[in-house]
A and B are shown apart, each in its own frame.
Chain A
């Protein structure tokens, strides 16, 4: 039995419903990463929806859990090795580029502020210096 995890540390935190919805969204993204053609992706997306709708009325929690585990296993098997990440998203090529410093790093300590104020006052009264 292969050990797989697609949620990482979130696995024990998120609810069953969240796991299903996130799996659906993730699957759509990965199908788009596989199918470069958007029209083809549309067909596959419809098929995926049908599969998810097929099991939406399952009331037995054990059965639902086993179905979800099977689906996650299938996703793990067929997930794209390089899923598409938008440039500005986390992990994208523009992410964190030339990020401005945190506002707090520009704040001065009270002593520094006092010194700066004195300095400005002195030079405003003694411009020749």
Chain B
């Protein structure tokens, strides 16, 4: 069953990609969706087994490699973490596959899109269910490749190419860190299996543990776009919206968080890395939220929101609350993908417009989407008894030991409410701003499949947190709010109401120098891109040009080695060519010299050979004679012959 869960998306990929000319589009879509549905059914059973029956199992598939120092098997590991992630990934993949059948119906490359989605699901499942770091790395890299392919789906767009390259470059840093940590584990422990590592780790190897956990954290930073390596995520919105919903909101970006959860036994041995993780998380949450407040592109705003929520998850892990982090991860997957899928419908309604300055009063055109997006926004702000309430406020309460972290998280909650309100107000409730060319067409929200996906995700966004809280955290949630929980809640509610009032009264357009500077700073993403371009990219390119190309390639290698070699060769060949003259006497002299030297050489060699021959035979005879004293059969025939002669 475990193998079938994973192989179904792979089969879907193979069939849809290779038989695209033979299979009809509708058949292909049905095939892909049914394969993912099959996978989802299996993962639901696995979740039931692991969550309800507390099962823990490992399945060996095949021995991959065996060396002197280590052994690596392809085997699957199924526990509460894996099964929860598997369920979440297959659910989201199923929703997105079904949604894409309608959303991408006018695109000429539907086959390719569906096949990439299936391939991504396969690699994601491989990563989640692996039982060692090497297999996890395979899934990790596969997911990165799929991310690039899907981001660059419209490959004729220059901006999409740039975004894909940027994502690959940024992810590569994290990948290298993960690879280094895996190699270090192999070197120090001789195994990369999660279970073995849990038993081998001890407090005595503090430096090694610190190094490994920091490398793992860096790997997570790249994939989960934590502060520093986050710049690729907003640009990743160049791809189609369903892909953004699946990869850059729900599943792929949570791979880094999953890695840290999986490596919890290593992280717990290094207090330094835990502290850094917590601070990294809180800072990411805060700065991404500030950037989200000043974005006008709907999808980029949601990307920064994702970044902020991932920061919350990292914060929860930094304070050793892994179960709450996992809970928030699952909750986030549902409400964020709802936001993205809803945004997709909104964009289709108003002719692919995704700037919120041009979206307005869409509540009448898309009531179902409005309802879904409103639910997702309220969930994200932590409204009581909705999904995120059970995870977000818990992690804030637990971070109270460090008051700085707590207040940073609380301010972030208020900022979350700010950008959610801004998004909802400008997209749905504001007075119409569009011109006659952009006026929404009346055919919006007629796709039953897309609407049903929105409905289902809305229900999941309301109920997942309540349903899974007890099962994941093994404790009862105190439904009555406590004092600490009230603070972030009050902050976010007050901000929402304040912003709605200000927007309605149109009082937020004071264009002073300070507001312009703040807006510029936030819109340019705290100048991270500028810093990377000017301070790292440009400097590295200059260094590469001058040091590697000009001094090394063109300098040492070419001037000293290549040029000198050519000069020597030219000189020698010119000297040799002097023999090729038109003088007959010279030719005759050369011939005589050659023949005389040749005959002399042959004669001298014959003489030498005869002397050597007798010497050699004599020696061999002597040695063989010594051997025959012990073993008569060893006397070589060759030596015998020489003696006779």
Contact = CB atoms under 8 A, between A and B. Distances in A.
Interface of A: 33-38, 40, 77-78, 81-82, 84-85, 87, 91, 93-99
Contact of B108 (A82, A91, A95, A98): A98
A26 to B, nearest CB: 16
Contact of A98 (B156, B511, B523): B156
Interface string B125-161: 0000000000000000000000000000010111100
Contacts of B426: 36
Contacts, number: 59
A38 B358 CA distance: 10
B157 A77 contact: no
B420 interface: no
Contact of B511 (A78, A81, A82, A87): A78
Nearest to A31: B511
Contact of A81 (B159, B354, B520): B520
B107 A98 contact: yes
A38 B352 CA distance: 20
Interface string B152-175: 001011110000000000000000
B513 interface: yes
Interface residues of B, number: 31
Given A33-B357, A34-B511, A94 B516 contact: no
Contacts of B354: 87, 93
User: Would you list the 4 A-B pairs with minimal beta carbon distance, nearest first?
Assistant: A81-B523, A99-B156, A96-B157, A97-B154
B49 interface: no
Contact of B296 (A82, A91, A98): A82
Contacts of B547: none
Contacts of B357: 33, 36, 84
A87 B158 contact: no
29 contacts: A34-B509, A36-B357, A36-B426, A36-B430, A36-B509, A37-B431, A37-B433, A37-B506, A40-B506, A40-B509, A77-B513, A78-B516, A81-B520, A81-B524, A82-B295, A84-B358, A85-B355, A87-B351, A91-B159, A93-B354, A94-B352, A95-B157, A95-B159, A96-B156, A96-B157, A97-B154, A98-B107, A98-B154, A99-B157
Interface of B: 107-109, 154, 156-159, 295-297, 351-355, 357-358, 426, 430-431, 433, 506, 509, 511, 513, 516, 519-520, 523-524
Contact of A84 (B156, B157, B295, B355): B355
Given A82-B297, A98-B154, A38 B433 contact: yes
A74 to B, nearest CB: 11
Contacts of B107: 98
Contacts of B351: 87
Contacts of A93: 352, 354
A78 B358 CA distance: 21
A91 B296 CA distance: 15
A84 B156 CA distance: 22
A96 B158 contact: yes
Given A82-B297, A99-B156, 7 more contacts: A38-B433, A77-B513, A81-B523, A82-B295, A85-B355, A87-B354, A98-B108
A121 to B, nearest CB: 25
B448 to A, nearest CB: 26
A94 B238 CA distance: 10
A32 to B, nearest CB: 8
Contacts of A77: 513, 516
A38 B513 CA distance: 22
Contacts of B159: 91, 95-96
A97 B156 contact: yes
A98 to B, nearest CB: 6
B291 to A, nearest CB: 11
B523 A82 contact: yes
Contacts of A81: 519-520, 523-524
B463 to A, nearest CB: 34
Contacts of A95: 157, 159
A36 B523 contact: no
B505 to A, nearest CB: 11
B510 to A, nearest CB: 11
A34 B357 CA distance: 9
Contacts of B352: 87, 93-94
Contacts of A94: 352
B565 to A, nearest CB: 42
Contacts of B513: 77
A123 to B, nearest CB: 20
Contacts of A33: 296, 357
Nearest to A99: B156
B426 to A, nearest CB: 7
B513 to A, nearest CB: 7
A47 B58 CA distance: 73
A104 B329 CA distance: 50
Nearest to A87: B352
A35 B108 CA distance: 38
A92 B86 CA distance: 37
A82 B524 CA distance: 9
A99 B156 CA distance: 6
Nearest to B297: A82
Contacts of A34: 509, 511
A85 B524 CA distance: 17
Contacts of A99: 156-157
Given A84-B357, A87-B353, A93-B352, A36 B433 contact: yes
Nearest to B300: A82
Contacts of B154: 96-98
Contact of B509 (A35, A85, A97): A35
A33 B358 CA distance: 10
Contacts of A84: 296, 355, 357-358
Contacts of B108: 98
A77 B296 CA distance: 20
Contact of A97 (B157, B296, B516, B524): B157
A91 to B, nearest CB: 8
A76 to B, nearest CB: 11
B478 to A, nearest CB: 42
Contacts of B358: 84
A85 B357 CA distance: 11
A78 to B, nearest CB: 6
B441 to A, nearest CB: 15
A35 B433 CA distance: 11
A99 B430 CA distance: 34
Nearest to A32: B357
A6 to B, nearest CB: 15
